[in-house]
């Protein structure tokens, strides 16, 4: 049978093009090389040369089509297989967006572009070889500049695309040149690091070794015989010159070793953690997970366990079991900070080689290395934020979503607008993997579903003797009326002071997403708003600027009111910066550090802060909801929530659920060690139901209360909601089109007789009616 296919079907990587495939001729030289999932270069109309992915083959063409040749391959190995492609197609279909956009999220195409493809001359060129004019031009150029990017080579040789790529292919298949992927031209070479190792045995009584040198050798032997030079110089308290001298005696060897650019490196020297013996609830949960993996059952399991009940330990055991069965694992955390924490705990059990971290904040080079390590199946565990669900890991057996209730698993903008939880369910179904959703405060919908399928794994108790913290609701109206104008209630202040004295640690949460520290004129009421978004600008003290939190627009503070020219502009509200400032005024000796998205700009800054807090180098951590989750630090015994009300003020049917979750989560940070924790919710509405339920830390009663309200109003899980957002720079146009769409949908549902089941609401303006000049 002839296995040759004449045509390859590709999808071209041009955003906003309708999803469809195009056929290209496969040149002889690329026969056998072209496979599904391979990135290639193709000519595409007046767009010139574009990236594309091979998605299929055929031997005939629809009539009237004149296929061109594929120019080149951008990698020699496929970057996805057919299963993965089907998964991606499903996503595009489900979320009504084109395939290229989904692929772009999964596989950033800047990995594969012609400017990052390097052509190099292979050394021995047979002078007998007959070359045509173009091939000669290319070889001549490469003789001058042996490593040139494909992009440059074409530009410099001025050969037209089609002839150029043909020449490159021919040269390549006759082994005169090679073409390789490079991710960053600057750091093109794999990263090398200088190492030292013992060469041969040390005979201790061998003559003429100065004591200093033998000490160094002893030290090297003690730490395993091999070490990074930079590291070793510190360990052995010696110098590079001494090392060089010893290496001349042949007793040690200095050499370069290739290392991956691995962000987990910083955890490299942590000790190996032991697996803990599970208690009976944990063991029961684990055995159900293992069963599910065995049966390849794909109904999600909900691991519902209060904070500190040992969910993470169950994950670790489940991962171990998956690895023992040669299965790979994806584990998601709701945000980068938590993903790093989790990666640390996981690599302490399984070693950093098997683990890779994946989120939007890793560099292109790092991501590229992870890809390479996935391809060679070195990486078996991917830890990451929501986009890690796309990781092209093969042989998947287990997907874990920690803190599954978090809204950050949903990407609302840009497209693809997806929910990583939904994708995980689909991927689990397609691969026969087990999906474990873990939370202390499950998503109402997840809980409802798991209850119906009897897939709830319950961990009802905190591990060991640690008891839940005591929670107090502080009525700030009362504080104010009795003369305390500070943002800290008396009781919180008192406990903060005591914790500082006793060397224990505290957390202060302030939900800055409320409209905080905005400027308003006390004379005329003018509010300083962003010029492109309909929200107030927020004061940033460190730079003394007003900044928009939606579009990052910045301007100087107003000295006088632009409306009435009075100088009565006052700053209201509370943000993390203000809390930090007031706290430091109150407790000048305390070591306080703030974490929010403003402090996260430096790479790894968040990891460093959390490390410092974990090590006890920081007394008080002040931050937004980022600090509410996941931290497991025994010495934290006090949590204060400032303005708990602001958590519930969003006009969203989930705001009660979200607020309850956040309060319960942050309360769970206190008293995880030997000392009982104390938590204070400061509020102006202590009677609010979600605050009351959070005080009791009673998910079940909250669930029942909430479900009743949802049922009455037909909110999820009693319905599905689809939200259509229509935006335009013209307010009139946005309004007109919204009305048209709503009208057409209504006509459609009525004419099909489904208006009972499909109700059309709106249109209505968004909560923030203008963002970045778009209405």
Of the pair 171, 469, the CB lying nearest ligand ADP is at 469
DSSP states along 560-595: S-TTT--S-EEEES--HHHHHHHHHHH-TTS-EEEE
φ, ψ for residue 135, nearest 5 deg: -60, -40
378 binds, among ligand ADP, Zn ion, none (CB under 5 to 8 A by kind): none
Site string for Zn ion, 560-599 (x = CB under 5 A): -x-xx-----------------------------------
Is residue 637 at the binding interface for ligand ADP, with CB under 6 A as the rule? Answer: no
How many chain residues touch Zn ion (CB under 5 A)? 14
Out of 305, 536, 671, 686, the residue judged to bind ligand ADP by CB under 6 A: 305
Asked whether position 609 contacts Zn ion by CB under 5 A, the answer is no
Residue closer to ligand ADP, measured from CB, 44 or 315? 315
Phi-psi region of 724 (alpha: psi -120 to 50; beta: other; left: phi over 0): beta
Closer of 379 and 437 to ligand ADP (Cβ): 437
Q: Does 505 bind ligand ADP (CB under 6 A)?
A: no
Q: Does 308 bind ligand ADP (CB under 6 A)?
A: yes
Distance CA 679, CA 628 (A): 12
416 binds, among ligand ADP, Zn ion, none (CB under 5 to 8 A by kind): none
Instruction: Give me the least distance between CB of 516 and Zn ion, in Å please.
Output: 15
Tokens of 482: 């009795």
Q: Which residues contact 236 (CB under 8 A, 6 or more apart)?
A: 215, 216, 219, 220
Residue 523 to residues 361, 545, 557, 582: CA-CA distances in angstroms?
Answer: 45, 22, 17, 26
Q: Bin 590: left if φ > 0, else alpha if -120 < ψ < 50, else beta.
A: beta
Residue 659 within binding range of ligand ADP, rule CB under 6 A: no
Torsion of CA 478, 480, 485, 487, to 10 degrees: 50
Establish if 633 lies at the interface with Zn ion (CB under 5 A): no
**Which pair of structure tokens corresponds to residue 479?**
């504080």
* Stretch of residues binding Zn ion (CB under 5 A), selected from 272-280, 382-390, 531-539, 582-590: 531-539
Residue 632 touches ligand ADP, criterion: CB under 6 A: yes
**Helix or strand or coil: residue 274?**
coil
Does residue 263 interact with ligand ADP by CB under 6 A? no
Of 185 and 700, which CB lies nearer to ligand ADP in the complex structure? 700
Q: How far is the CB of 556 from Zn ion (least distance, A)?
A: 16
Quick check: 530 binds Zn ion (CB under 5 A)? yes
Rounded CA gap, 627 and 625, in Å? 5
CA distance 121 to 174: 12
Residue 276 in the binding site for ligand ADP (CB under 6 A) = yes
> For residue 270, how many other CB atoms are within 10 A of its CB?
12
Give yes or no for residue 526 binding Zn ion (CB under 5 A): yes
Quick one: which segment of 37-45, 113-121, 308-316, 602-610 binds ligand ADP (CB under 6 A)?
308-316
**Helix, strand or coil, per DSSP, at residue 58:** strand
Burial class of residue 280 (count of CB atoms within 10 Å of its CB; 0-12, 13-18, 19+): exposed
Residues ≥6 apart with Cβ < 8 Å to 186 = none
Smallest distance, Å, CB 410 to Zn ion? 22
Residue 42 site contact among Zn ion, ligand ADP, none (CB < 5 to 8 Å, cut-off depends on kind): none
Contacting range for ligand ADP; rule: CB under 6 A; set: 55-63, 145-153, 275-283, 509-517: 275-283
d(CA 634, CA 616): 10
Name the segment binding ligand ADP (CB under 6 A); options: 105-113, 304-312, 479-487, 501-509: 304-312
* Interaction between residue 24 and ligand ADP (CB under 6 A): no
Other C-beta atoms within 10 Å of 430: how many? 15
What x/- string results for residues 438 through 477 when contact with ligand ADP is judged by CB under 6 A? -------------------------xx-------------
Number of residues that bind ligand ADP (CB under 6 A): 16
Under the rule (CB under 6 A), what is the footprint of ligand ADP?
276-279, 282, 305, 307-313, 463-464, 632
């Amino acid at each position: 049978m002839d296995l040759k296919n004449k045509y390859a079907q590709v999808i071209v990587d041009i955003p906003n093009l309708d999803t469809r495939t195009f056929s290209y001729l496969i040149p002889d030289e690329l026969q056998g090389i072209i496979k599904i999932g391979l990135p290639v270069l193709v000519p595409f109309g007046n767009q010139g040369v574009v990236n594309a992915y091979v998605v299929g083959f055929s031997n005939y063409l629809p009539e009237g089509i004149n296929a061109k040749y594929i120019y080149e391959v951008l990698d020699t190995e496929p970057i996805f297989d057919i299963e993965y492609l089907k998964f991606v197609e499903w996503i595009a279909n489900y979320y009504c967006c084109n395939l290229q956009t989904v692929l772009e999220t999964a596989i950033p195409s800047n990995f594969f572009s012609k400017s990052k493809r390097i052509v190099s001359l292979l050394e021995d060129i047979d002078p007998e070889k007959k070359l045509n004019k173009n091939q000669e031009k290319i070889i001549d150029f490469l003789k001058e500049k042996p490593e040139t990017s494909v992009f440059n080579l074409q530009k410099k040789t001025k050969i037209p695309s089609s002839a150029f790529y043909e020449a490159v292919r021919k040269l390549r298949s006759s082994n005169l040149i090679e073409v390789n992927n490079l991710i960053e031209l600057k750091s093109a070479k794999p990263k090398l690091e200088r190492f030292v190792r013992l060469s041969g045995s040390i005979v201790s009584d061998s003559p003429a070794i100065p004591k200093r040198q033998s000490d160094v050798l002893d030290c090297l032997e003690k730490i395993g015989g091999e070490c990074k030079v930079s590291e070793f110089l510190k360990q052995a308290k010696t110098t590079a010159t001494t090392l060089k001298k010893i290496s001349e005696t042949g007793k040690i060897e200095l050499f370069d070793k290739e290392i991956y650019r691995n962000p987990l490196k910083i955890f490299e020297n942590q000790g190996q953690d032991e697996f803990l013996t599970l208690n009976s609830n944990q063991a029961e949960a684990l055995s159900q997970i293992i069963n599910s993996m065995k049966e390849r059952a794909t109904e999600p399991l909900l691991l519902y366990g209060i904070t500190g009940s040992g969910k993470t330990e169950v994950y670790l055991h489940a991962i171990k079991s998956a690895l023992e069965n040669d299965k790979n694992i994806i584990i998601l955390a709701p945000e980068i900070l938590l993903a790093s924490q989790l990666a640390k705990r996981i690599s302490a059990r399984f070693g950093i080689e098997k683990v890779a971290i994946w989120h939007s904040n890793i560099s292109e080079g790092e991501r590229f290395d992870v890809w390479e390590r996935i391809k060679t199946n070195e990486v078996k565990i991917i830890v990451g934020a929501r986009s890690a669900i796309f990781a092209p890991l093969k042989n998947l057996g287990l997907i874990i979503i920690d803190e599954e209730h978090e809204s950050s698993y949903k990407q609302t903008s840009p497209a693809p607008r997806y929910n990583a939880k939904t994708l995980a369910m689909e991927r689990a179904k397609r691969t026969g993997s087990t999906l474990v959703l873990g939370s202390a405060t499950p998503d109402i919908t997840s809980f409802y579903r798991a209850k119906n399928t009897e897939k709830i794994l319950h961990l009802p108790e905190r591990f060991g003797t640690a008891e839940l913290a005591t929670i107090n609701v502080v009525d700030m109206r009362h504080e104010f009326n009795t003369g305390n104008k500070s943002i800290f209630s008396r009781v919180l202040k008192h406990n903060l002071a005591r914790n500082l004295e006793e060397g224990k640690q505290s957390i202060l949460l302030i939900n800055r997403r409320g409209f905080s520290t905005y400027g308003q004129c006390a004379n005329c009421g003018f509010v300083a708003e962003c010029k492109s978004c309909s929200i107030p600008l927020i004061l940033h003290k460190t730079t003394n600027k007003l900044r928009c939190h939606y579009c990052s627009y910045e301007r100087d503070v107003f000295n006088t009111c632009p409306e009435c020219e009075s100088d009565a502009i006052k700053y209201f509200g509370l943000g993390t910066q203000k809390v930090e400032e007031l706290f430091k005024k109150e407790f000048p000796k305390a070591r306080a550090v703030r974490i929010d998205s403003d402090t996260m700009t430096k790479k790894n800054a968040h990891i460093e802060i959390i490390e410092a807090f974990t090590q006890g180098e920081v007394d008080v951590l002040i931050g937004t909801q980022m600090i509410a989750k996941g931290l497991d630090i025994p010495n934290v015994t006090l949590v204060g929530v400032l303005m708990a009300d602001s958590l519930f003020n969003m006009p969203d049917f989930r705001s009660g659920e979200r607020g309850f979750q956040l309060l319960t989560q942050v309360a769970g940070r206190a008293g995880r060690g030997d000392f009982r924790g104390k938590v204070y919710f400061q509020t102006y509405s202590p009677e609010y139901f979600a605050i009351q339920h959070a005080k009791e830390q009673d998910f079940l009663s909250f669930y029942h209360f909430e479900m009743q309200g949802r049922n009455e109003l037909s909110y999820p899980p009693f319905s599905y909601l689809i939200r259509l957002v229509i935006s335009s720079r013209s307010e009139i146009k946005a309004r007109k089109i919204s009305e048209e769409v709503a009208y057409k949908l209504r006509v459609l549902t009525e004419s099909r007789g489904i208006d009972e089941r499909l109700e059309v609401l709106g249109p209505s303006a968004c909560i923030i009616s203008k963002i970045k000049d778009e209405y």
